[in-house]
Amino acid sequence: MTPARIVKHVHNCTGLAGLLALSCVVAAPTSAHASTPDLFGFGARPAAMAGLGGSISDDFSAVHSNPAGLARARETAFTLGFQGAGFDLSLSRATGTREHIPQDIARGTVIGLVLPLPFEGVLRDRIAIGVGFYTPTDVVVRGRILRPELPQFLLLSDRTQTVTIQGALGVDLGWGLRVGAGFSALAAIRGAVVIAQDSTGRVGSRVDNQLVTSYAPIVGASLERGPIRAGLTFRGATIGRFAVTIEARDVGLPLPVFNIAGLAQYDPWQFAGEFGFVHQGWSALVGLTFKRWSEYPGPLERTTERSPEPPRPALWDTFVPRAAIERRWSSARSGLAVRGGYFYEPTPVPARTAGANYFDNDRHVLTTGVAVDTRWRGTKATVELFAQLHILAPRETSDGAQPEPASPTWRTAGSLFAMGTSLTLTF
């Protein structure tokens, strides 16, 4: 149940019946942890190139891949795009039939803007700002609560279901050295429901909910020496929590305060290093991303003060290798680019979490894309397409809801497919 649905349900409930109905949300289906940029990349070009681009980017996608790249921009550019992803996730007992885990199709719009600042003199063509937005088409933020013992893919299911905002500034220091800094923000929700008697003795409810944001820094640097490119980016952890408390006052029953809380989204802090070679229309990139998953706080919080502590998976840190290539052909009025890449995302989730059935798999990811541009009367229009195929390597995981000596085995596998398109106007 999404926070928006929770709020709507709360608003329509009155009296003790409303409290009891809402308390059932604790046992209803949540899992979701990380954002669209972290899962697919941000912008059509990085998404088509295995999430790389921090050493060569010059459009709005640099706000995520490497803010230093914004300093390469010489013209104002506006981007509008759309992307979607479908999940095919399945599990089975070691000797049983395979069953699919239903997941909603993730759809969202992407908006980007790059604006070089019109300074003169020594600062001419040195500083630019950029912003980027990802907005799901049907929610602002989604956080669902699944009982820990229910089989669930911990890090995949709702990672694309939250508004993400990023902004940054890039500066060209000269000698091929550029630096940049910015922020990433995730949407989250918090609120309170109070059920009490009014002055007439009738029991009613009062709802107070707020949409809030969680911020994290993004800083980067890039170096350009002839055909050689290099980039380094740090992204802070972004934590989008949802928390709704439900309190009953003077209703005749000694009920505790219910705390419906957990993670709607989570991106670990990470370092991304990249090295590239650019020559005669060819760009070849390799990179490595370190992700600090070991600081993951767990998907759930305690429901009441006396509730047992929910199981917390002991995630481990990961390294994600990436490689990509791009070929460009250009003329005075038009251009064409063909892109492709691969990255390997190892799972940070252990094969067993006591008291919970948290699943995740290593992923082999193939990416591809194309861009076509044309210039007319001083305005360049660029249409870009990308596609990604994520293949989950089959894995066996012990059932954490059972005592370890008698723990049966789950087998998980699947895939997800993402694609998107965008139009950029450059003035």
Strands of 39-151 (E only): list them: 77-93, 99-101, 106-116, 127-136
Side chain identity at residue 149, one-letter code: E
Kindly compute the dihedral angle of the four CA atoms of residues 198, 1, 256, 313, in this order, to the nearest 10 degrees. -160
pLDDT value at residue 20: 38
Q: How far apart are the C-alpha atoms of 171 and 154, rounded to whole Å?
A: 39
Positive or negative, the Cα torsion across 56, 58, 59, 62? positive
Positive or negative, the Cα torsion across 227, 228, 234, 238? positive
Q: 278 with 305: CB under 8 angstroms? A: no
Q: 327 with 335: CB under 8 angstroms? A: no
Q: What is the pLDDT along the chain (427 residues), one digit of tens a residue?
A: 333 333 333 333 334 434 433 333 333 334 445 678 899 999 999 999 999 999 999 999 999 999 999 999 999 999 999 999 999 998 888 666 777 777 778 889 999 999 999 999 999 999 999 999 999 887 666 666 778 888 888 887 655 567 889 999 999 999 999 999 999 988 777 888 888 877 777 877 788 878 778 899 999 999 999 999 999 999 999 988 888 888 888 777 778 898 888 887 889 999 999 999 999 999 999 999 999 999 999 888 888 888 888 999 999 999 999 999 999 999 989 999 999 999 999 999 999 999 999 999 999 999 999 999 999 988 999 999 999 999 999 999 999 988 888 888 899 999 999 999 999 999 9
CATH placement of domain 3-426? 2.40.160.60
